[in-house]
């Protein structure tokens, strides 16, 4: 258990702190590579959707079936799946739209004088807070998945890491513009990602007494719901805004193919 704990925590830290990668991209590149970001976000959505429906959902059912009858296990799994969707949708509902972390930001905005505004610092701080709130359930999802299945945890961590890169840009651009400090912008972006391991640790210590087949089944199903929602509500729309429709779809299909291949090769 101890080895699984530190492995799962390490994956969660990796996924969360990739917001810092987005921040660094904003500072060390002169132009946003829209096609690459669009394909990467589509790829992440493909990984999330495929692994949720093909791998996590059956694992949730297997875990629950160890404790309940087939029908009861399926009912609990289904309710947990939509419970995960409801949880992340509720979090989204209470994030102010103007400061939503999924509002598109580009590297070019760092040199756009028209963006200088007294409200930018507020926007950047709200973005950091909103991302931190979003990252709590994502961190717990990555952590619990890795505790139950290391291979599954790696897949989820990589997908969430890619998804966090544009969020880092969303935080760093307005804060840099408001303060003129790359250091402050990077720090806030970096810190917003720490919510993932913090959420994982809080969730783990609250739930550790209940860890077993039932908890794993419920959490796995909720993780599947959260990841499907993130893919459909955040990743694919953002991928389309960054680039062309077909680039996002090609990335989506590529993510599914890579995920399918990894499941076939490492089962």
Which residues form the domain of 246? Answer: 2-266
Residues of the chain above pLDDT 70, percent: 75
Instruction: Using a cut of 0.75, tell me whether the model's pTM lies above it.
Output: no
- CA dihedral angle for residue 88, residue 222, residue 148, residue 160, rounded to 10 degrees: -30
What counts of helices (H) and strands (E) characterise the chain? Answer: 12, 0
Contact 64, 77 (CB under 8 A): yes
pLDDT in tens, 194-224: 888 888 888 788 877 777 778 878 888 988 8
Q: Of 72 and 98, which is predicted with more confidence? A: 72
Q: How many distinct structural domains can be found in the chain?
A: 1
pLDDT of the residue at 123: 59
pLDDT in tens, 19-35: 777 777 666 655 556 67
pLDDT in tens, 103-135: 545 545 544 544 444 555 665 666 666 667 767
pLDDT of the residue at 222: 87
């Amino acid at each position: 258990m101890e080895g699984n704990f530190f492995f799962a925590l390490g994956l969660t830290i990796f996924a969360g702190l990739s917001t810092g990668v987005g921040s660094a991209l904003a500072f060390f590149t002169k132009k946003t590579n829209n096609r690459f970001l669009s394909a990467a976000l589509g790829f992440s959505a493909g990984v999330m959707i495929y692994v949720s429906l093909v791998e996590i959902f059956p694992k949730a059912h297997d875990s629950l079936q160890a404790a309940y009858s087939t029908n009861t296990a399926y009912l609990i799994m289904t309710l947990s799946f939509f419970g995960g969707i409801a949880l992340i949708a509720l979090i989204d509902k209470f994030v102010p739209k103007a400061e939503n972390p999924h509002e598109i930001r580009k590297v070019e905005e760092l040199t756009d004088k028209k963006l200088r505004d007294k409200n930018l610092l507020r926007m950047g701080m709200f973005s950091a807070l909103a991302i931190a709130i979003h990252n709590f359930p994502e961190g717990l999802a990555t952590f619990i998945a890795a505790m139950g299945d290391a291979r599954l945890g790696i897949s989820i961590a990589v997908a969430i890491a890619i998804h966090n890169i544009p969020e880092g840009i969303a935080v760093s651009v307005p804060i840099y513009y408001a303060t003129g400090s790359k250091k402050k912008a990077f720090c806030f972006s970096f810190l917003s990602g720490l919510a993932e391991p913090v959420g994982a640790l809080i969730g783990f210590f609250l739930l550790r007494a209940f860890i077993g087949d039932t908890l794993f089944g419920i959490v796995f199903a909720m993780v599947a719901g959260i990841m499907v929602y993130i893919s459909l509500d955040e990743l694919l729309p953002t991928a389309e805004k960054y680039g062309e429709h077909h680039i996002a779809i090609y990335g989506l299909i590529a993510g599914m193919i890579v995920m399918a291949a990894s499941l076939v090769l490492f089962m």
